[in-house]
Amino acid sequence: MNEKHSIVEIWVYLSGSPLFALFITLAAYQVGLSIYKAAKQNPLANPVAIAIILVASIIQFVEMPYSTYFEGAQFIHFLLGSATVSLAIPIYRGLSSLKGRSFPLLASLIAGGLVSIIGAVNIAKLLGADSSITGAMYPKSVTAPIAMGIAERIGVSPTLTAIFAVTTGILGAILAPFILNALGMKAWWQRGFAIGIGAHGIGTSRAFSIHPEAGTYASLAMGMNGVISAVAIPILYHLFN
């Protein structure tokens, strides 16, 4: 009885400080990374997805409201802004390896960016998704830190946007090799660039693990897509809503 009492006290203390939220977030990500490594970097074993499922299950299990969890985990969340600024470095590295390819790349970026929005929003609408879902589909093809910033600006849920963006990255990393092989794409820089537009962060890290040139062009595509989308999506969104 006495012992049980003290465990409750410890729990009350821990769950009231940011420590618990920080701990389960980092621990879950650590578990995700270990599983990802054990699965030989299979995209299905995505460490971010594993961490999200683990943390969501834990806070449901201990009946911690999401707002309490987020209050603690906001220290990690805050760094998204800094990580967004850091994207300047891979973009700059990519820019110096352009070698007169800017016209086809820019055209590809605009075409791919538009198709991703029009495709996602209209398929969701056609199948009867409600407007909070279709709204969050607008920024989902942009790398998550920028996508969430855009979501806040246009007034759709940053959470739904983050979930759709992460899922898009995972799907893109899995499907890209099949799509690109079916189209007979051979040049690494072209393959990488298409992956960067379609599968942003998760696709880019996959591209880097396959070929350095593919990775450089993927991160260039991801970054440029993010910057252009941050300007274009609010305009497109208000045009159609």
Whichever of 35 and 163 has its CB closer to other proteins, that residue is: 163
Min. distance of Cβ 128 from other proteins in angstroms? 6
Handedness of CA 161, 167, 173, 176 (dihedral sign): negative
Note the Cα 16 to chain centre separation in Å.
29
Closest separation in Å from C-beta 54 to other proteins: 9
Q: Which is nearer to other proteins, 14 or 56 (CB)?
A: 56
Q: Which two tokens stand for residue 79?
A: 């760094």
Task: Please answer whether residues 143 and 200 qualify as being in contact, where contact means their C-beta atoms are separated by less than 8 angstroms.
Answer: yes
Closer by beta carbon to other proteins, 3 or else 130: 130
CB of 119 to other proteins, least distance (A): 4
Q: Rank residues 11 and 181 by Cβ distance to other proteins and give the closer one.
A: 181
CB of 12 to other proteins, least distance (A): 21
